């Protein structure tokens, strides 16, 4: 059915990526009856409890918040059903949503996904696009289905990926695009002026959840691959290696034109005005922002001034 009045919306999200869209929703002619999110978690070495960003934003906007470790909890189903939502809108929620909850909205369950589906279904589509060297990505608004990110697509919008973009920068652009797409398309979806089209399931590619160990640099890889890794894993988990046995993070780097035919992979062989050159399996990488274990993040040049690193090998 189409709608002719304000709808009751439950917004399910758990990441700062979703903040701008939540703000946009509050400005539309609908009512947010709840923001569904996950409980605050303990993180860091001291296991400090940090408030999840979407909960923080919801409270600033004076919106009711629902928190569940799992939506399989009976109380979650009962509470959501009692709210009688017309629409469930999900965006970077991060946990499985059971089919019986997807069936509760009177109108539909719509997901905001940051990739050009069916490419990069799954948990880490932004990082996957950068790791793969994709030239473009985008946002898809889909109807939620039982299978992960496999629902039909209402609308999509494509953007180019700049060569030097980190996941953090690209994420901010996609977050802004998401809010614009919700503003411009949600009412047309609700009024069935936009109808969903099935994905090309045979072309589906998945982006699995990233683990910290994935960020370990293999210096025998080509510089182009390592460069993409550094960009994709900023701000988390941050690409890393070892220097003199200490944990060594590479926050940012650029490709170098130096062919590097003389040095074994991982060798720091030149310190320049703005970067440090490291040999790889093919060409070299110019490190620009680094962090040694127990120290703060600094420029590579500043690091070189305080450490005798020329000729040292990373990975040891």
Residue 280's beta-bridge partner residues? none
Residue ranges matching CATH 3.10.25.10 in the chain: 212-306
* Mean pLDDT, rounded, of the chain: 95
Average pLDDT over residues 243-260: 94
pLDDT at 46 over 70: no
Percent of the chain with pLDDT over 90: 91
**pLDDT value of position 258:** 85
Average pLDDT over residues 262-289: 97
Top CATH class, 212-306? alpha beta
Residue 62 Cα distances to 27, 44, 51, 92, angstroms: 13, 29, 16, 21
**pLDDT value of position 187:** 95
pLDDT at 197 over 60: yes
For 8-207, CATH number out of 3.30.300.130, 3.40.50.150, 1.10.150.120, 3.40.50.170 equals 3.40.50.170
Model confidence at 3, pLDDT cuts 50, 70, 90, reads: low
DSSP the chain: ---SS--EEEEEE-SGGGHHHHHHHHTSSSEEEEEEE---EEETTTTEEE--HHHHHHHHTT--EEE-S-TTSHHHHHHHHHH--SEEEEES--S---HHHHT-SSSEEEEEESS-TTTTEES-HHHHHHHTT-SEEEEEEEE--SSTT-SPEEEEEEEEPPTT--HHHHHHHHHHHHHHHHHHHHHHHHTTSS--B---GGG--EEPPP-GGGGB--TTSBHHHHHHHHHHTTTTT--EEEETTEEEEEEEEEEE-----SS-TTBEEEE-SS-EEEE-SBSEEEEEEEEETTS--EEHHHHHHHS--TT-BTT-
**pLDDT value of position 223:** 97
**pLDDT value of position 29:** 94
pLDDT at 1 over 60: no
* 201-251 pLDDT tens trace: 999 999 999 999 999 999 999 999 999 999 999 999 999 999 999 999 999
Cβ contacts of residue 286 below 8 Å, gap of 6+?
Answer: 253, 254, 255, 256, 272, 275, 276, 277, 278
Q: Estimate to the nearest angstrom the gap between the alpha carbon of 16 and the chain centroid.
A: 10
**pLDDT value of position 51:** 78
**pLDDT value of position 47:** 57
**pLDDT value of position 97:** 95
**pLDDT value of position 2:** 56
pLDDT at 45 over 70: no
* 58-76 pLDDT tens trace: 999 999 999 999 999 999 9
**pLDDT value of position 5:** 79
Contact (Cβ atoms closer than 8 angstroms) between residue 87 and residue 10: yes
Neighbours of 145 (CB within 10 A): 15
Average pLDDT over residues 43-67: 85
Residue ranges matching CATH 3.40.50.170 in the chain: 8-207
**pLDDT value of position 303:** 98
């Amino acid at each position: 059915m189409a709608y002719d009045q304000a709808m009751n919306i439950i917004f399910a999200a758990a990441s700062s990526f979703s903040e701008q869209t939540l703000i946009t929703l509050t400005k539309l002619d609908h009512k947010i009856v709840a923001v569904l999110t996950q409980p605050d978690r303990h993180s860091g070495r001291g296991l400090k409890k940090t408030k999840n960003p979407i909960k923080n934003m919801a409270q600033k906007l004076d919106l009711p918040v629902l928190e569940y470790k799992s939506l399989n909890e009976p109380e979650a189903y009962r509470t959501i059903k009692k709210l009688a939502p017309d629409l469930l809108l999900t965006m970077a929620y991060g946990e499985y949503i059971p089919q019986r909850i997807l069936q509760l909205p009177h109108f539909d369950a719509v997901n905001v996904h940051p990739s050009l589906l069916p490419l990069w279904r799954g948990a880490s589509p932004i990082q996957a696009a950068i790791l793969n060297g994709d030239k473009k990505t985008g946002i898809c608004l889909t109807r939620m289905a039982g299978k992960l990110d496999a629902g039909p697509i209402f609308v999509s919008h494509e953007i180019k990926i700049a060569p030097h973009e980190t996941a953090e920068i690209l994420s901010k652009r996609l977050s802004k695009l998401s809010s614009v797409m919700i503003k411009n398309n949600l009412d047309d979806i609700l009024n069935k002026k936009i109808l969903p089209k099935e994905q090309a399931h045979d072309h589906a590619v998945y982006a699995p959840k990233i683990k910290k160990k994935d960020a370990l640099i293999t210096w025998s890889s080509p510089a182009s691959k390592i460069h993409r890794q550094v960009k994709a894993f900023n701000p988390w988990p941050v690409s890393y290696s070892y220097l003199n046995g200490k944990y060594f993070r590479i926050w940012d780097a650029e490709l170098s034109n130096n062919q590097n035919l003389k040095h074994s992979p991982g060798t720091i062989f030149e310190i320049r005005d703005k970067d440090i050159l490291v040999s790889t399996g093919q060409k070299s990488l110019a490190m620009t922002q680094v962090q040694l274990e127990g120290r703060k993040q600094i420029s590579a040049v500043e690091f070189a001034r305080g450490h005798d690193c020329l000729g040292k090998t990373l990975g040891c």
